[in-house]
Structure 1
Amino acid sequence: MSKTAELLNGAAELFPDEVVTEAHVRHLDLPGNAGRFALITLDNGHDHKKPSTFGPQSLARLDGAIDQVEREAAAGEIVGVGITGKPFVFAVGADLKGVEALKEHDQALVIGRGGHDVFSRLGALGVPTFAYYNGAAMGGGVEVGLHCTYRTASAALPAFSLPEVFLGLVPGWGGCTLLPNLIGAERAVSVIIENSLNQNRQLKGAQVYELGIADALFEGADFLEESLRWTASVLKGEIEVVRAEVDRGEAWDEAVARGKEIADGKVHGAAPAPYRALDIIAAARTGDLRQGFEAEDNALADLIMSGELRSGLYAFDLVNKRAKRPAGAPDKQLARPVGKVGVVGAGLMASQLALLFARRLEVPVVLTDIDQERIDKGVAYCHEEIDKLLLKGRVNQDKANRLKALVTGSLDKAGAFGDADFVIEAVFEEMGVKQQVFAEVEAVVPETAILATNTSSLSVSEMASKLSHPERVVGFHFFNPVAILPLLEIVRGERTDDASLATAFATAKQLKKSAVLVKDAPAFVVNRVLTRFLGEVLGSIDEGTPVDVADRALAPLGLPMSPIQLLELVGPAVAHHVSGTLHAAFPDRFEVSANLGRIVEAGKKNLYTYETGKPELDPEVATLFEVGGTVLTEEQVRTRALDAIAQEIRLMLDEGVVAEPQDVDLCLITGAGWPFHLGGVTPYLDREGVSERAAGGRFLAQGVASVPA
C-alpha cells in the first residue's frame, strides 16, 4: 500500500458520512487513429444534479484509478488520460461535512497532503492528461483539472469557481500555486480573491476559456465527443496549444497588492484566509510547485482549525439548508395559490416589491397610491428596470413585454384588488396610516386574500386588531435593496392562521427569498439587533467619544460597512423612527439619540462628506452635535456594542422571537450582509468570550461553528 493510500485510509474514519465519489476508468479509441485512451469519470452514484465531492475515500478511489492508468501508460498501452464528471456535474471539491469534524492540526494536514498527492499524479503520468470540465466545477473540482496537461470547458458550464476564501480556507490542492502559473497573477487574484469575496461569484464556461484556464471551448450538447476529437488532434500534433506568457515582473507584485486591497475592503483584516492565499500566490512567482504545495498544506491545516473556517461552514449550512427549510413553517399543503398581487403604495420600496412579484410570480401586479402621478412614477420604475434587464440580456424582448404588461396601476382599490389573492402594503411607517390602509383593503378584497405588511418595526397584531378577519394578516418584511438581500422576515401575528402563514412561506419561496419565521415583537430580528448595536455606538458619541473613533470601533469584525455608513444607508430618519419604537417597548436598553434627532430635524441625510476621497464628518452635522465629556477608546466602544448585541440576542431567544440562535445568524447574514467568517454573529460572540460575559453562556454548543471538544 502506498503512503498516500495509508494516509487516506487513516483519515477515512474521520468522515463517517462521506458520500463516496467513484472514479470509473473506461477505454476508447480516439478519432483519426490517434490511439488508445483512458477516460476517468467521477461519479458519486446519486442523481445527476447531486455534486461529486472529495473526501478521503473518494480521493482513494481516484488514486486507485490513477494506479491503473499509470501502469497502462508505462506499458505503452494508452496515449493519454482524461478526467471528466457525470452528466451536468464535474466535481465541487472537498467534503466539507468531514472537515468540520476534524479536531487536530495533524488530521487537517493529512487532508491537504492527501489531495496534493493524488491530484499531482495526473501531471506525472508520462502521457498527456486532459480535464474535461463538462459541468459545475468548484474548489477541488477545479484544482484536479489544473494538475492536468490540457483542459476543455463546456459552453453550458453553469458554475466554475474557487470559493475557498469566502468560506475561510485557501484553494489548498494546487489552486493558489498552479492557477497564477497558468494564467498569471492578475487573473488568478480575480478568480481566487475577488470573485470569491464577492459572494462567491461564479464563472461560466466561456469565461473559463477567455481567462485561459481552458484551452478549448465546446457546446454542451456534444461536449465530450468534441473534446475527444480535439484531444486526438492535439496528440497527433495537428493542433498546437499556445498559451500567453505569464508576466513574472512587477505585474505579479501589483496583482498581489490589488488582491490585498480587495481583501481589506471586504474583510478589513478580520479573516485570515484571503491573506494566506495571497501569500502563496506571491511566492508562486518562482514557479516552485513543491514549495507552493507545501505552503498550501500548511495554510489549509491552520485554517481548518480556525474559528473563522468553522463559522464559515456553519454560515454556509445556514444559507444552503436551514434557509430552505424554515423552522416553524406550517404545512405547505395549507398554502393557497396566488394569481394576482396588489401593492399599496408606489414609492421606491413599493415599486421594488411590485417588480419582484411580477418577475418571480409572473402574475398581474397592481399598484395603488393617493394620486395618479405617484402611481405612474411607480409603474414607470418597474418598466424601466425591466428594460435594463433586457439590455443586459437577462430577459428577451418577448419576456420583457410580458413582464411590463403585468405591472399596472390604479387609483381605484376596489377595481384593482377585487380579485387579488395577496395584497402587501408599503406605506408610511405609522400605525394609524397602516390600520386605515388595511381597513380600506379588507373592504374590497376576497375573503381568502392575504393582507401582508412590509413594516420594519410596528406590531402586526395591532395593525390587524380592528379588522373583521385579522387571521389573514401577516408580516412580510423585506430588506433594501429588495432585489439583492435575500432575507424575508415572516411575522406571525397573534391571530394569524396557519393557512395565511403557509401562503406567505410558499410565496416567499416563489420569490426566491430566505424566509425566517419571527414572533410579532418590536423590530423583529435584524432591525432590533442593528438598532441596539447602533444605539450603543451613537450613545458613545453623544457622551463625548469622537465620531471617527466610535465609527472605527467595529472594524475588527469585518462588517460590510461601518456604523455611520450603516446609518446613512438606512437613513437617519428611519433609524430615528425605529429607535423610538424600540425605546417605547424597552426604555431601559434602547435610547433615542438627541443628536440623531437634531440631524433628522435639520433634514440631513448624510453625516459624512467625501470631498477628500475619504469619509469626514460634515461640518454642518458637527455643529448640531451636543456631547458630554466621556471619551471612550475604540476597544471600549467595541466591548460596549458587542455586549449589547449578546444581551439582546439572549433576550430575543428567551422571548421566543425566533426558534434558535441559528435563525438570528441566518437573519444577519441574509438581511444585513454580515460575513460568513462571523457565522452571522453568535459563533463570534462565543469564540471571543462575549456570550459568557454578557449573555450568561454560549449560544451554540461546542463543536457547532467551533472545533469539537
Structure 2
Amino acid sequence: MIALQETVTKHWSFHTDVERLGWLTINTQGAGVNTLSREAIMELETLVARIEDLASSGEVIGVILLSGKDSGFIAGADVSEFDAMSDFSVLPEALKRTHALFTRIEKLKVPVVAGIHGFCLGGGLELALACHYRIAVNDEKTRIGFPEVNLGIFPGFGGTGRSIRQAGPVDAMQIMLTGKMLKAGAARGLNLVDKLVRHRDMLAWEGRKAVLQKRKSVAAAPVKRLMAMGPIRGYVASKMREQASKKANKAHYPAPFALIDLFEAHGNDWQAMSRGEIDAFVPLMGTETATNLRRVFFASESLKKQGAKGAKFARVHVIGAGVMGGDIAAWCALRGMAVTLQDIEMERIKPALERGKALFKKRLKSKREVDTAMLRLEADPKGKGVARADVIIEAVVEKLEVKQAIFSGIEDQLKPGAILATNTSSIELERIAEGLKDPARLIGLHFFNPVAQLPLVEVIRSTFNSDAEIGKGAGFALAIGKSPVVVKSAPGFLVNRVLMPYMLGAVKRVEAGESKELLDAAAVAFGMPMGPIELMDTVGLDVGQSVARELGQAVPAESKFAGLVSAGKLGRKTGEGFYKWVDGKAQKGETPPHADLAGLGRELVQPLVDTTEVVVAEGVVANAGLADIGVILGTGFAPFLGGPLKARADGRA
C-alpha cells in the first residue's frame, strides 16, 4: 500500500494510503513487547488529534490499529512506571487523561479497527475495547485478558465498563476478578473480539474490509445485561464477594473486593462504571499489597533472562513413573515436547498415563488436542528414548544408591549436548555424580508437587557445573513454562530447606496435642495458601521424612509421623496421612476458636523466615530477592507480603 502521508514518533507510526485508510502501528522502542507508557500515551494523543482532523476533512475514512512486534499487540501499561504513578498527586490526572484519550478514539466519526495477535492484556485490551471493531488471530499465541488483579489493582483505563458493555456483567467481572488470559476463540465467544482470522498476515486485509464495510461491534445481549439491573445486581455482587472470599482475604488482597464494590454501585451503566474507576483505582495503587506484588512481578520477569539463548528442546526422557516423574512427563507433553516415560514395568507406567490424560482433558479444549498430546506421551519401559532425548530427567525414589546406578547405566547412551538431570529434592548433586565419567554434566531440575500448579523449578548447580550447563537447564524450564531459580547444591537446596523447619515445627505441635485444623487455619490467616500439616500431606510424608533425614532432622521412630509412614499412609497420594483425602481434598474437622489466628500463623511461619535468612547468608541463592521469589513460587508464601525476607524487613513476619 502506498503511504501518502506519514507521521512517525518514538513508539508509533501513522500513515494513510490511496484508499484513505489510516494505518496506526505501535512498536515500543527498545522493548520486546509493546506497552502503554506515559510517553506512548502522550504520543498517541498527538496522533489521535491528527486523525480527528483528517476524519473531519474526509481525508481518512477509517483507521486500522496494528502491532509492529512479533510478540503481540500490547502487553498492558508500563509496569516499570507504576511506583512513580502511585503518587496521589500524579495518578488521578494521568488516569483522567488516558480516559479522555480512549473516549476520543471511541467517538471518532470513522471506524477504528484493532488487529490483535499475541498478547493483548490489561491496558492493551482496554485500548482495543475503545476501538469500534476487533479482529484476532486464532492461534495458540493469542492471549486476551485483564491480569491487573495479580498486581493488586484492576483495569483503570475504562476497561471495567467497556468489558461489561461487550461481554455482559457476569462474564466481564469473572475475567477481571480472576486475571485469566483467554484464547482468541474464548474471547470471541464472550464478544470481546468480533472476528477471528487464521494468520497474522490476514489482519491488515480483514481490517481494511471492516473499515470499508463500516463494521461495528455489537454490545452484549440484553438478557446478559439483566444481571446488572436493579436488586439483582446487589445479589450478584454478594455472590461475587462470597466466591472472592474463598480465594483471597480482603485484608490481604483488597483489589477484587474494590472492583465488586464498583460493580455494585455502577454495574448497570457501563459509562458510569468506567468513570468510577478513577476514584476506586487510586487508593489501590499505593497499597503495600500492590507494591509487593509489583516486586514479585519484576522478580518473576527477571527469571526469564537466565536461560541459555538458542537452546532447543524437542524430546524429553523421564525415568521414574511415580507421582513426580509421571506428572513431569505429562507436563512436558502438554507443553509440546515428545516424551518417553520409563519405569521397570508397564504396569507402573499406566497410572501415570492415565493422570496425564486427565491433565490434558482439563487443560485442552478438544478431543483432537487431547489425543495429540497423548501421542506425545509414550510409555518406554526399556528406556529406548534415552539416546534420542534432548533432556533426561531422573525422578525415582530419594535413595542415593538408586540414583547413582541409574546415571552410571545411561551415561554412555546420551547424545552430545543433552541435559542430564535429577529431580532430587534434597540430596547434594556431588554425591549423586560421584560415579559418573563426566560429573559436570549432571544438573538438578527440582520440580514441585503438584507439577501442573506450582511454577518453580530449582535449577541446582554443583561444584562441577559450568554456566553453560546451568543456562541450558534454566532454558529448558522456561521452554516448558516454568520459572527457574538457580540454587547451589546443598542439603534441601532452597525450598525444602526453608519448608522443613516450618512443617516439622507444626507436626511437633500436633504430636503434642494441638489441633491440626487450627494450625492450618492460622497459617492461611497469615497468608499462606494452605497450612503446614495439609502441605506435609500434599508433599508426601515419605518425602518429608526423607528430606528431614537429609537435613539432619530425623523423625522420631515412636512419633505419629513415623507411624503413618510405616503404615503406608503417606498423605494425599495414598488417600490418608495426617488427614483423610477424598477427591484430592483434605477432610478436616472443626477448627477450634482462637483469639489471634493470624498471630498464631506468624508464629508458625517464623522458622521458615529465619531459615530463608540463613540460606541467603550461606550463598545457596545469590541474593535476598531470588530467595523471596523462589520461596513464593515454591511454597506459595504470601505474595502480598513480597516474600519472607521482604516481610521481615517490613516488620510483618
1:571 aligns to what? 540
Alpha carbons of 1:366 and 1:72: their partners in 2 closer, same or farther (altered >3 Å)? closer
Query: CA 1:108–1:381 in 2, change beyond 3 Å: closer, same or farther?
Result: closer
What's the counterpart of residue 596 of structure 1? 561
Match for residue 483 of structure 2? 514
Residue of structure 1 in register with 2:210 after alignment:
230
| Distance in 1 of aligned mates of 2:335 and 2:262 | 43
Contact kept? 1:185, 1:256, Cα under 8 Å: no
Alignment of 1:316 with 2:309, yes or no, is no
Shift of 1:149: 4.5
Residue number in structure 1 paired with 2:322: 347
Select the residue among 474, 493, 517 that pairs with 1:524.
Answer: 493
**Which residue type is aligned with residue 345 of structure 1?**
G
1:107 corresponds, among 70, 79, 90, to 90
Cα deviation, residue 180, structure 1:
1.8
Residue 380 of structure 2: aligned partner: 408
Q: Partners in 2 of 1:71 and 1:591 — Cα distance?
A: 81
State TM-score, norm by structure 1: 0.76
- How much has 1:456 moved relative to structure 2? 0.7
Read off the aligned partner of 1:273 and give its amino acid letter: A
Worse-matched range after superposition: 676-685 or 140-149 = 676-685
- State the distance in 2 between where 1:341 and 1:285 align: 49
Query: Corresponding residue for 2:454?
Result: 485
Matched letter for residue 640 of structure 1: E
Structure 1 segment 190-229 matched on structure 2, within 5 A = 190-194=174-178, 196=179, 201-220=180-199, 221-229=201-209
Structure 1 or 2, whichever has the larger Rg, is 1
Q: Which deviates more from structure 2 when the two are superposed, residues 251-260 or residues 262-271? A: 251-260
CA 1:216–1:344: 2 relative to 1, 3 Å? closer
Contact 2:525–2:597 (8 Å) recurs in 1: no
Q: Distance in 2 between matches of 1:500 and 1:418?
A: 19
Q: 2:348 aligns with which of 353, 361, 374?
A: 374
Q: Judge which range, 567-576 or 490-499, deviates more.
A: 490-499
C-alpha deviation, 1:428, in angstroms: 1.8
| Structure 2 match to 1:61 | 43
Q: Measure, in 2, the Cα distance between the counterparts of 1:240 and 1:325.
A: 43
Specify which of 100, 113, 126 is matched with residue 143 of structure 1.
Answer: 126
Kindly tell me: are residues 295 and 418 of structure 1, through their superposed partners in 2, closer, same or farther at Cα, counting changes over 3 Å? closer
1:134 is aligned to 2:134: no
Distance 2:356 2:277 in 1: 48
Q: What corresponds to 1:392 in structure 2?
A: 366
Where 1:226 maps in the other structure, the secondary structure is helix
Kept after mapping to 2: 8 A contact 1:185/1:255: no
Query: Is 1:292–2:264 an aligned residue pair?
Result: no
Deviates more, 1:420-429 or 1:337-346: 337-346
What displacement does 1:274 show?
Answer: 1.3
Deviation at 1:636, TM superposition (A): 3.8
2:15 and 2:467 mapped to 1: Cα distance?
53
Q: Deviations over 1:500-526 (max 9, x none)?
A: 545544544554443222112121111
Q: Structure 2 CA distance, aligned partners of 1:592 and 1:167?
A: 46
CA distance in 2, matches of 1:364, 1:288: 49
- 1:652, distance to aligned residue in structure 2 (A): 0.1
Q: Secondary structure at the match of 2:562?
A: helix
Q: 1:256/1:346 Cα in 2 relative to 1: closer, same or farther (>3 Å)?
A: same
Matches of 2:62 and 2:585 in 1, distance apart? 57
Q: Take 2:154 and 2:52, find their aligned partners in 1: how far apart are those partners? A: 29
Once the two structures are TM-superposed, the CA of residue 332 in structure 1 deviates from its matched residue by 7.1
Query: 8 Å contact 1:21–1:54 — kept in the other structure?
Result: no
Conserved 8 A contact 1:90-1:141: yes
Q: Which amino acid aligns with 1:101?
A: A
Q: For the structure 1 residues 470 and 165, does the alpha-carbon distance in structure 2 shift closer, same or farther, using more than 3 Å as the test?
A: same
Match of 1:21 among 1, 11, 18: 11
- Cα distance in structure 2, aligned partners of 1:159 and 1:303: 26
Cα RMSD over matched residues?
4.1
1:270-329 CA deviation, whole Å, 9 max, x = no partner? 21111112222222224173x534532233322221222222222222222323326xxx
Superposed counterparts of 1:453-492, under 5 Å:
453-467=422-436, 469-492=438-461
SS of the residue corresponding to residue 475 of structure 1 reads: strand
User: How much has 1:87 moved relative to structure 2?
Assistant: 6.3
Partners of 1:661 and 1:571 in 2: how far apart? 28
Distance 2:100 2:257 in 1: 25
Aligned partners of 2:526 and 2:598 also within 8 Å: no
Instruction: Please name the residue that 2:3 is paired with.
Output: none
Task: Give the Cα–Cα distance (whole angstroms) in 2 for the partners of residues 297 and 666 of structure 1.
Answer: 31
Distance 2:620 2:25 in 1: 45
% same residue = 26
Matches within 5 A, 1:30-179: 39=22, 41-44=24-27, 46=29, 50-74=32-56, 83-86=65-68, 89-102=72-85, 104-125=87-108, 127=109, 129-135=111-117, 136-155=119-138, 158-179=142-163
Q: Is contact 1:186–1:251 with CA below 8 Å preserved after alignment?
A: no
Cα distance in 2 for residues equivalent to 1:82 and 1:339: 38
SS in 1 for 2:460: strand
1:662 corresponding residue in structure 2 = 625
TM superposition shift of 1:73: 4.7
Shift of residue 653, structure 1, vs aligned partner: 0.6
Q: Give the match's secondary structure for 1:537.
A: helix
Partner-residue secondary structure (3-state), 1:137: strand
Q: In 2, distance between residues paired with 1:423 and 1:407?
A: 15
Shift of 1:97: 1.0
The match for 1:244 is: 221
Q: Deviations along 1:102-147, whole A, 9 cap, x unmatched?
A: 462212223322211221222344x254342432321111112333
| CA distance, structure 2, for counterparts of residue 360 and residue 155 of structure 1 | 18
1:183 and 1:28, CA in 2 relative to 1: closer, same or farther beyond 3 A?
farther
CA contact (8 A) 1:343 1:350 kept: yes
Higher relative contact order (CA 8 A, sep 6+): 1
How far off its partner does 1:460 sit?
2.2
CA positional deviation for 1:640: 1.7
Superposition TM-score, scaled by structure 2 size: 0.82
For 2:328 and 2:398, the matched residues in 1 are separated by: 16
CA shift for structure 1 position 649: 1.0
Q: Is the 8 A contact 1:181 1:285 kept in 2?
A: no
Q: Which runs of 5+ in 2 are unaligned?
A: 1-8, 570-575
Whether the 8 Å contact between 1:516 and 1:663 is mirrored in structure 2 is yes
Q: Secondary structure at the match of 2:89?
A: helix
Q: Which residue of 1 aligns with 2:572?
A: none
| Cross-structure match for 1:695 | none
Query: Any conservation in 2 of the 1:155–1:218 contact (CA below 8 Å)?
Result: yes
On the 8 A contact 1:162/1:191 being kept in 2, the answer is yes
> Which range is displaced more, 541-550 or 73-82?
73-82
- 265-274 or 248-257: which moved more? 248-257
Q: 1:552 aligns with which of 502, 514, 521?
A: 521
What letter corresponds to residue 183 of structure 2 in structure 1?
K
Instruction: Determine helix, strand or coil for the equivalent of 2:551.
Output: helix
Q: Deviations over 1:340-376 (max 9, x none)?
A: 765443333333344556676856746242x564356
Maintained 8 Å contact 1:184/1:252: no
What displacement does 1:182 show? 3.5
Which residue matches 1:16?
Answer: none
Q: Deviations over 1:44-90 (max 9, x none)?
A: 3559x943222222111111122223344555665655544446643
Deviation at 1:578? Answer: 2.3
Count residues in correspondence.
628
Tell me how far apart the structure 2 counterparts of residues 546 and 357 of structure 1 sit (CA, whole Å): 39
2 CA distance for matches of 1:536 and 1:428? 25
Structure 2 residue identity aligned to 1:187: D
More moved, 115-124 vs 185-194: 115-124
What is the Cα deviation at residue 447 of structure 1?
A: 10
Where structure 1 has 5 or more consecutive residues not aligned to the other structure, the ranges are 1-18, 30-35, 623-630, 691-709
